[in-house]
């Protein structure tokens, strides 16, 4: 089967019609689907089911970005000036440094890109497909024309195709048509053995890749994939569109641009003044280039990009997928975690444990026969469940029923499902209408006990007595459904569930054990100052029982969805300050809970998996979708996706988010700090009428330390002790703020004072300018490494430098010290760098002075940090 290659002007569906061979049009596709061998052959012939990834940055694009960076251009300008002056050695040295700079940037970009590529693989959409008669889940990119795949409510359609089977399928095609009203889909029709392919007869049998199934479910035959789909043609036109930077990235770029403009102005003044006063225009130009390079904090955007991309990769390693890396910042500030019970706090392996009728209550045991009195209850529970569904209770009923009813007349493989009545917010029950071998209609219903009692029109006293029994079961942590048998009046299909005549058969109770990791994770969250809130659709007694097992605060009781609906905004905001368990909650109630918590000033993380959970996920500061049972809509609305849906992963994500934020703040402070002495040593000697201290080559040498330290040492630094014992940080305490800048200025100013003082004292003591320069540059390098060590150890103590995560720092420090020693001791490099050989006494004095200055700077910045924290509102 060939992929469609229709012209862009062709109407929607035209390409699909063209791609259907006569054999496919004449007969329905058999349920076996393609074989694995056929699928592999078609995949190699047609290619993967994906449109070109515009987010990937190839090597050429990376190099193009490097070559337009101001720092690289300044470096080339300095090299060109030296070559024009006939100083071949220094010109080639700077050219070499330019190549090294490119290499460092490419390494950082590739490292980030590899991390993002790993994330893209993890976040790739999955599709349920029939291969060799078995339904399996595969990456959507491996889907090929001819495959039979499933689409359910809340899922994206994986390829253009035709509908082979459908139950209540409605698809949102606004992506292609702009029409917001969902489109009803029906099964591909044939007449007299041929497909009815006219637009009037079969237009509604086509579905298109990337459109969204709003309700219902269907079996689809893929006829076009990848660039051959309707959306693929649109996607091809997006390749030239650049991704818009985030507000934080824009803020940092503005900051760098402001420094760049200031540097340009100072450079221009230096060139003119130096040329006019001393008549040495070339030296003035070199000094200006050095000042420009020293004042550009181009590491800010690079550090942010590296930290966020690698931070997202680190989160993925603990099974938390960050769809938007910027959400990492909010994750570490979360004050409330609103989580589902099923699958998050519990193991989501529902097991049918009891069947309850008026006459008896039966504990199910695989080794015992099922009493006849409850077989009909189990039979109709199975009939009200979907065999191919993802609902854990459906799977539990089917599994138990197949095992316990095998060989009896209570299984009906020859019955035909003729209609489904899905669960709705108005009625928390679902029904299946079946046609038996004799053509008679039979209806099976299951759902929340209150809803099924309503369907059965039980009198109030009978309902009240049964609800007491339900509450008793729920109080044991069991989830309870009621099951009913129905008949259609006059044996005809009806429009509403309530139109059937239902008879209650009994109750089915399921157990879903609490995850072993949950109590410890809840305790960790409490220590971290984070409130854990459970939100579930279960009975209130079940919710309270599980919450107590998990270690949640249940002293304030439980609020139900009906309670939430009855409360006003102000009353609900007051209630959520204390209540930690919410039961019988619908998706619209989740949104109100998020808004109420936000109105109290909380930073909210909310989990969800359904289509209707999307508004709450969007409204939360951190939306968390379920990766296994979650719908595509929920995943698209959320910032995070749990890959194995364990509550412990959320707490682990908070821990990782705090660590990433801490380290990013440290590196931002360090970048600010180190640029103060570098810029000051390049500018101030000229203003004081002293010989130039920092030449372009010295600035580049310093940058050779700064860049790898930012992307390797700080990014991999271990978490601070007590990270999860401190309260969440305030939301107004951002990554880049005045507090951080002042701390960096304090540290950098002390290092500048020490190194400039060394230079001036050496000159006054009669030392050669090259020797004085050497003392200042050695002091700057030593102070630079001390700043890195001090900021890495901030909050952790010196033991942070002995941790395995500090290996990158020690590697960079060793290389920097070795390079500086060679530059001072070897005559060739010494001449190129305009260095001299200082006496040991001067060198020791320089190192001691710098160490004292850095210590003073760290102390000063610590006081500024404490003062800033004290001023922030609680």
pLDDT tens-digit series, residues 704-727: 777 777 767 787 787 888 888 888
Does the structure show a pLDDT above 80 at 685?
Answer: yes
Compute the average pLDDT of residues 180-203.
Answer: 61
Q: Note the pLDDT of residue 109.
A: 61
Does the structure show a pLDDT above 60 at 239?
Answer: no
How is residue 228 written in tokens?
A: 């051959």
Cβ contacts of residue 310 below 8 Å, gap of 6+?
A: 111, 112, 115, 715
How is residue 491 written in tokens?
A: 């044996």
Does the structure show a pLDDT above 60 at 10?
Answer: no
Q: Note the pLDDT of residue 11.
A: 41
Compute the average pLDDT of residues 23-50.
Answer: 72
Q: Note the pLDDT of residue 783.
A: 93
Does the structure show a pLDDT above 50 at 874?
Answer: no
Q: Note the pLDDT of residue 398.
A: 92
pLDDT tens-digit series, residues 132-151: 888 888 888 899 999 999 99
Backbone φ and ψ of 532, nearest 5°: -105, 125
Q: Note the pLDDT of residue 24.
A: 38
Report CA 441 to chain centroid distance, whole Å.
48
Q: Mean pLDDT check: name the lowest of 58-67, 71-80, 191-200.
A: 191-200
Between 242 and 141, residue with greater pLDDT: 141
Which one, of 744, 698, 732, lies nearest residue 303 by Cα?
744
CA pseudo-torsion sign 802, 804, 810, 812: negative
Compute the average pLDDT of residues 565-585.
Answer: 93
CA pseudo-torsion sign 498, 502, 506, 508: negative
Which one, of 170, 161, 149, 172, lies nearest residue 219 by Cα?
149
Q: Note the pLDDT of residue 597.
A: 94
Q: Note the pLDDT of residue 178.
A: 58
Q: Mean pLDDT check: name the lowest of 69-83, 174-188, 811-825, 852-866.
A: 69-83
Does the structure show a pLDDT above 70 at 497?
Answer: yes
Between 754 and 795, residue with greater pLDDT: 754
Q: Note the pLDDT of residue 23.
A: 36
pLDDT tens-digit series, residues 257-269: 776 677 677 777 7
CA distance 263 to 749: 18
Does the structure show a pLDDT above 50 at 20?
Answer: no
Residue 416: enclosing H or E segment and its boundaries?
A: strand 416-421
Q: Mean pLDDT check: name the lowest of 289-293, 466-470, 730-734, 869-873.
A: 869-873
Does the structure show a pLDDT above 60 at 126?
Answer: yes
Phi-psi region of 623 (alpha: psi -120 to 50; beta: other; left: phi over 0): beta
Q: Note the pLDDT of residue 382.
A: 94
Compute the average pLDDT of residues 165-181.
Answer: 74
Q: Note the pLDDT of residue 569.
A: 93
Q: Note the pLDDT of residue 477.
A: 84
Compute the average pLDDT of residues 124-130.
Answer: 82
Q: Mean pLDDT check: name the lowest of 241-255, 728-742, 830-844.
A: 241-255
Compute the average pLDDT of residues 174-196.
Answer: 65
Compute the average pLDDT of residues 273-280.
Answer: 66
Give residue 18's pLDDT band: very low, low, confident or very high (50, 70, 90): very low
Compute the average pLDDT of residues 28-55.
Answer: 75
Q: Check if the beta carbon of residue 705 is closer than 8 Å to that of residue 814.
A: no
Q: Note the pLDDT of residue 595.
A: 92
CA-to-CA separations, 708 to 30, 100, 192, 815, in angstroms, rounded: 59, 11, 72, 11
Between 62 and 646, residue with greater pLDDT: 646
Q: Note the pLDDT of residue 450.
A: 92
Q: Note the pLDDT of residue 755.
A: 95
Cβ contacts of residue 189 below 8 Å, gap of 6+?
A: 195, 196, 201, 202, 205
CB atoms within 10 A of CB 76: 15
Does the structure show a pLDDT above 80 at 300?
Answer: no
Compute the average pLDDT of residues 410-430.
Answer: 85
CA distance 163 to 185: 8
Give residue 869's pLDDT band: very low, low, confident or very high (50, 70, 90): low
pTM greater than 0.75 (yes/no):
no
Give residue 467's pLDDT band: very low, low, confident or very high (50, 70, 90): very high
Between 334 and 72, residue with greater pLDDT: 334
Give 755's strand partners: none
Q: Note the pLDDT of residue 851.
A: 94
Does the structure show a pLDDT above 60 at 7?
Answer: no
Compute the average pLDDT of residues 622-630.
Answer: 78
The DSSP call for residue 356 is E
Give residue 777's pLDDT band: very low, low, confident or very high (50, 70, 90): very high
Q: Note the pLDDT of residue 8.
A: 34
Does the structure show a pLDDT above 90 at 456?
Answer: yes
Q: Note the pLDDT of residue 723.
A: 84
Q: Note the pLDDT of residue 1.
A: 34
Between 236 and 865, residue with greater pLDDT: 865
Q: Count the alpha carbons within 13 Å of 661 in the hemisphere toward its beta carbon.
A: 24
Q: Note the pLDDT of residue 630.
A: 67
CA distance 282 to 288: 10
Q: Note the pLDDT of residue 587.
A: 78
To the nearest whole number, what is the mean pLDDT of the chain? 79
How is residue 515 written in tokens?
A: 């995850």
Give residue 309's pLDDT band: very low, low, confident or very high (50, 70, 90): confident
CA distance 490 to 405: 30
Q: Note the pLDDT of residue 19.
A: 46
Q: What percent of the chain has pLDDT over 90?
A: 24
């Amino acid at each position: 089967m060939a992929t469609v290659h229709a012209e862009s002007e062709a109407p929607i569906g035209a390409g699909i019609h063209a791609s259907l061979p006569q054999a496919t049009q004449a007969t329905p596709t058999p349920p076996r689907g393609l074989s694995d061998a056929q699928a592999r052959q078609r995949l190699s012939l047609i290619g993967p089911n994906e449109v070109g990834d515009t987010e990937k940055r190839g090597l050429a694009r990376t190099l193009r970005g490097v070559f337009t960076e101001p720092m690289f251009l300044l470096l080339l300008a300095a090299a060109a000036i030296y070559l024009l002056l006939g100083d071949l050695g220094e010109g080639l040295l700077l050219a070499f440094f330019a190549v090294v700079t490119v290499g460092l940037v490419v390494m950082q970009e590739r490292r980030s890109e590899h991390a993002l590529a790993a994330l893209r693989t993890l976040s790739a959409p999955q599709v349920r497909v029939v291969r060799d008669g078995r339904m399996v889940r595969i990456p959507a990119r491996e889907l090929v024309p001819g495959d039979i795949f499933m689409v359910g409510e809340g899922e994206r359609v994986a390829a253009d195709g035709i509908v082979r089977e459908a139950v209540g399928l409605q698809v949102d095609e606004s992506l292609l048509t702009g029409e917001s009203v969902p489109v009803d889909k029906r099964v591909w029709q044939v007449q007299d053995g041929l497909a009815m392919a006219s637009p009037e007869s079969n237009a509604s049998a086509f579905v298109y890749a990337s459109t969204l199934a709003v309700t219902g479910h269907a079996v689809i035959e893929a006829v076009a994939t990848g660039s051959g789909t309707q959306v693929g043609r649109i996607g091809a036109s997006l390749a030239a569109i650049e991704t818009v930077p985030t507000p934080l990235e824009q803020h940092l770029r503005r900051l760098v641009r402001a420094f760049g403009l200031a540097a340009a102005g100072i450079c221009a003044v230096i060139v003119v003044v130096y040329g006019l006063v001393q008549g040495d225009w070339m030296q003035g130009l070199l000094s200006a280039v050095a000042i420009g390079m020293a004042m550009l904090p181009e590491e800010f955007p690079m550090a942010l990009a590296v930290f966020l991309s690698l931070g997202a990769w680190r989160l993925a390693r603990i099974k938390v997928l960050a769809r938007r890396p910027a959400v990492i910042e909010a994750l570490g500030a979360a004050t409330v975690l609103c989580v589902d019970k099923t699958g998050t706090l519990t193991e989501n392996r529902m097991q049918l444990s009891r069947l309850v009728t008026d006459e008896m209550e039966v504990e199910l045991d695989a080794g015992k026969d099922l009493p006849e009195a409850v077989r009909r209850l189990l039979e109709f529970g199975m009939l009200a469940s979907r065999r191919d569904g993802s609902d854990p209770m459906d799977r539990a009923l089917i599994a138990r029923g197949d095992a316990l009813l095998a060989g009896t007349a209570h299984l009906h493989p020859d019955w035909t499902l003729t209609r489904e009545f899905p669960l709705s917010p108005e009625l928390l029950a679902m029904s299946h209408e079946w046609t038996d071998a004799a053509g008679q209609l039979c209806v099976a219903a299951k759902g929340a006990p209150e809803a099924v009692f309503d369907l059965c029109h039980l009198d109030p006293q009978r309902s009240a007595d049964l609800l007491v029994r339900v509450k008793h079961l729920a109080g044991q942590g069991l989830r309870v459904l009621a099951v009913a048998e129905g008949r259609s009046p006059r044996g005809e299909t009806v429009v509403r569930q309530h139109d059937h005549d239902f008879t209650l058969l009994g109750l089915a109770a399921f157990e879903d054990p609490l995850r072993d990791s949950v109590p410890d994770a809840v305790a960790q969250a409490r220590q971290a100052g984070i409130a854990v809130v459970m939100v579930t659709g279960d009975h209130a007694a079940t919710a309270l029982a599980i919450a107590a097992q998990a270690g949640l605060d249940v002293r304030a009781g439980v609020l139900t969805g009906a309670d939430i609906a009855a409360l006003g905004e102000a009353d609900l905001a007051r209630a959520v300050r204390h209540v930690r368990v919410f039961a019988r909650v619908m998706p619209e109630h989740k949104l109100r809970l998020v808004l109420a918590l936000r109105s109290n000033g909380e930073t909210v993380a909310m989990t969800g998996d359904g289509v209707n959970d999307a508004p709450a996920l969007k409204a939360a500061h951190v939306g968390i979708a379920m990766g296994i049972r979650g719908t595509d809509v929920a995943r698209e609305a959320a910032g995070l996706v749990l890959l194995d849906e364990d509550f412990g992963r959320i707490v682990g994500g908070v821990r990782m988010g705090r660590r990433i934020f801490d380290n990013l703040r440290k590196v931002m402070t360090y970048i600010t700090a180190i640029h103060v002495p570098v810029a000051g040593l390049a500018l101030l000697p000229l203003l004081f009428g002293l010989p130039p201290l920092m030449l372009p080559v010295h600035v580049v040498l310093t940058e050779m330390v700064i860049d790898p330290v930012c992307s390797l040492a700080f990014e991999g630094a271990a978490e601070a002790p007590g990270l999860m014992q401190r309260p969440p940080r305030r939301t107004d305490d951002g990554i880049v703020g005045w507090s951080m800048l002042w701390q960096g200025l304090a540290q950098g100013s002390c290092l500048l004072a020490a190194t400039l003082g060394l230079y001036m004292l050496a000159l006054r003591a009669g030392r050669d300018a090259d020797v004085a320069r050497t003392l200042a540059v050695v002091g700057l390098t030593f102070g630079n490494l001390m700043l890195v060590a001090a900021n890495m150890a901030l909050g952790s103590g010196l033991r942070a430098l002995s941790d395995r995560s500090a290996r990158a720092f020690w590697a960079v420090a060793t290389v920097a010290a070795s390079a500086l020693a060679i530059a001072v001791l070897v005559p060739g490099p010494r001449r190129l760098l305009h260095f001299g050989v200082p006496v040991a006494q001067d060198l020791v004095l320089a190192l001691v002075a710098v160490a004292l200055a850095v210590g003073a700077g760290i102390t000063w910045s610590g006081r500024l940090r404490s003062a800033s924290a004290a001023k922030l509102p609680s």
